[in-house]
Structure 1
Amino acid sequence: MKKYFLLLALFVAGKGLAQTNANDIIGRWDLTVTMGERIVPSWLEVKLSGMKTLVGYFVAEGGSARPISHITFQNGKLHFSIPPQWDRLDKYMEFDGLLTEGQLKGTIEAPNGNMYAFVGEKAPLLKREKAPEWGKPIDLLAGNALKAWYASGNNSQWSVTGGVLTNAKSGANLITKEKFEDFKLHIEFRYPKGSNSGVYLRGRYEVQVEDNFGKEPSPTYFG
C-alpha cells in the first residue's frame, strides 16, 4: 500500500494590507491643526537625503521653516522631533502621524506638553494654466478708515490718520475682510528703532518688518 503525503504551502500576502514606502510620504503636506478652539494652518515637507534618509522642514502655527534632521517612516507611521524655536522650554516638539489612503493624521506634542491633533493632505502643485488677469488696484485704507479690515482680537491698537496706518502698541493683528488668490501687494512702511512687526501673506507666511540695519543677511529678515 502506497502512502501519499499532502504538502500544504502557506503563502502570506502581507495580511491584505497595502505596503507603504518612502515615496508615499515624500513631498509637501498642508496641515490643519486643532489648537483648542482655534483651527490653524501648518506645513510639512519631507525630502530624501541620499539613499534612504528622510529629512525635511516644518512650519508650525508661528515661526519660520524649521529644519528636520531625521524623519522615521515605517509601516505608514511617521515620527520626528525638533528643538524649540520661540518656546522658552528646552523640551523638543514631538510629531507623530499615520498615513492612510493618502491622508496624514496624528498629533503634535508641544514643548509645554500640550497635545494637538492634525490632519494633512498632499499640497497641490500651484501651476496656472494661463497668466493671471490683474484687476483695478484696491485701496485697503480708503477714506482713512479700516472698513476693509477686522481685528483678530479685542485689543486692537490700529488707527488710520492722514493715510498712515498706525499701531499704538502691541495688540491684535489686522486681517483683510476680502480674500485674494494671485495678488500684487504694495506697502510703504516705517518703524521705530529696534521695533519688530510683519506682514502676513495669505494669513500665514510673514514678511518680517524689523529694524535689522547693519546685521548680516538672514533668510528670516526682510531685505
Structure 2
Amino acid sequence: MSLYRALFSLLIITSLLAGPAIGLEPSANKDDERIEKQEKEKKESPKHDSKEQGKKKHDEHKKHEKDHKDGDKDKPEASDKKKPEKKDDQSGDKSKKDAPKKEMKREPKLEESKKEEKPKPSKDDAKDQVEKKDSDDKPAKGAPKKEMKPEAKKEEPKKNEPTPAKRPAPEPKMEEGEGKKMESKLEPKSEDKPEEIPPPKEAPKPEPKPQPKPNPQKFAVTDLSQVDEDFAYQGEYYGKLRLPGGILEATGIQVIARGDGNFVGRQLRGGLPGNGWRNDQLIDLSGKRDGDQLVLSQGNYQVHITGKKATVINSAGDILGILTKVSRRSELLGLKPSSRATILFDGTSADGFVDAKVNEKGELQIGTTTKDPVQDFRLHLEFRLPYMPYATGQARSNSGLYIQERYEVQILDSFGLPGEFNECGALYRTKSPDVNMCFPPLTWQTYDVYFTAARFDDEGKKISPARITVQHNGILVQDNYVIPNKTGAGKPEGAEPRPIKLQDHGNPVVFRNVWIEYLGGPVVNSQAEAIDTPEQN
C-alpha cells in the first residue's frame, strides 16, 4: 500500500507541476504581445522623450514591485518561494522570459511563482490604469526585445492589419483584393462629375436676345399676315375737331411707322390730301408706342391713338375731338380697258412684256419692259408698295415708271411726306407732284398717265417737247406738264420711239391690271386737244 500511495502522490505532484507550466503559456503569450506593442510604441513615439518621463517610469516600476512583493507575503507557502525567485530576476534572470517555453517547464519554482501571479493579470485587465503601468514596467527592465522579431508567424498578420498605434480613424475593413480599388478612389469621382451636371436638354433656356435692327433695304413685307404690331397704327385718321368759339373743322392725321415702335405723323387742317387739305397748315408730330397705345405730340399738344381712334388733346388738356381711322381707295382702282386698249398684263398673261416675272399671287414683278415701243398713249396700271418701316428716302419701296426709257414717273413709299420732286407722283428730279396722294404701303394704288411724245424734224432737232399728265389714285398730280429733257438716269431724247420700263430698284414692288391705249396723231399744244381724261369721259 505504501508503494501505491507513493506513486499516487507522485502523480499528484507531477500534475501540479505540469498544470502551472501549461497555464503559463497563455500568460507568456500575453506578456510577449505586450512586449511587442511596447517595442513598436517606442519606435513610433518621438525619440526625444525627456529624462523626466524615464524617471517617472522607473519610480512607477519600483512601486509596482513593492506592491507585488506585499501581495505575495500575504499568501501561504508561495511567498517563501517567490523571494529567491525575484532576487534572481533582479540579477538578470528575468530576461529569460523570452526564452522558449520548454526551458520554462524545467524550472518548477519559476512556474509555481507565475501560477500564483496568474490571477493578477485578470485584475489588471479590469482596471485600465494598472494595465498601462505593467506595460510601462516591462520595457524598463532592459530585456533584449530584438529576439521576438524573427517570429514570422506574428509579423504576417500585422502586414494586413494596422497595429493599435498605427490604426487610423475607423475605416471599413477590406477584404483581399480591395486594396487596388481603394487606390483608384479618384477615378470614380472624375467619372461621377458629368453625371452631376444636368444634361443640355434639361438646362434652362437662355432668354431670347434682342434681335438686331433689320437691314432697311432687306426688311420688306409684302403680305399682311407678316406685318409687325406697328402696322396696325400706321395709316390715316379723319374727323372733326372743335376750335375756339365752338367751330367744328374737318381734320386729317397721317401716321407713319418708323420701326421698333417709333412713329412720325402730321395733322392736316381741312382733311386729308385730295379730300379737303389744301397743302397749307399742318402740325408735325412724333412719338412712340407703349403697349397698345401710341402717343404723338408736339410740345404739350398730344394725340392718343388706341385701336382705330385718335383722341386730340390741346396744351391746356382739353379734348378737341376724336378722329377715326379710314382706308381710302382710288376711284380708278380696277378700271377696265376701253375697246381701243391693248392689255399688257391682266394677271393671267404677261405677253405684253419682255422677260416678265409673275409671282405666285399672279402679280407682275419689277425689271421688265413692254414689247412694243410707245409714242402717244394713255396708260393705266395698278401698283402696291411693300411695308418697309426701317427704310427712309429713296430706299423705301423704290421703283419707277420709265416712259420711252427716258422720262421717269417716280414710284416710292412717300406716304405722309411733303411730296418732293423725287417722291411718289413726281417727274423724277424735275417736278414735284401738285399734291402727295401716296397711300400707305400694302394698299393698291393707281397711276393713269397721258403722254405725248416729243417731236423732231428730219435733221433730228427737237421741235416740240414731250408732255405728261398723271393722275395718282384718281387725283391730278401732274397737269399737262411740259418735260424739258430726259429725267434722272433716262436715255437721251430722240425721234425714235422706245418701250416703257418698270424699274428694278431692289424693292419688291408689284403691278397688276396694266393696259395701254395708243393715241398717235399730230403734235398738240394743249391737253384738251389730244387727251380725254377720265373726268371728261
Q: Please, what TM-score do these two structures have when normalized by structure 2?
A: 0.14
Q: When you count helix as a share of all residues, which structure comes out higher?
A: 2
Structure index of larger Rg: 2
Q: When you count strand as a share of all residues, which structure comes out higher?
A: 1
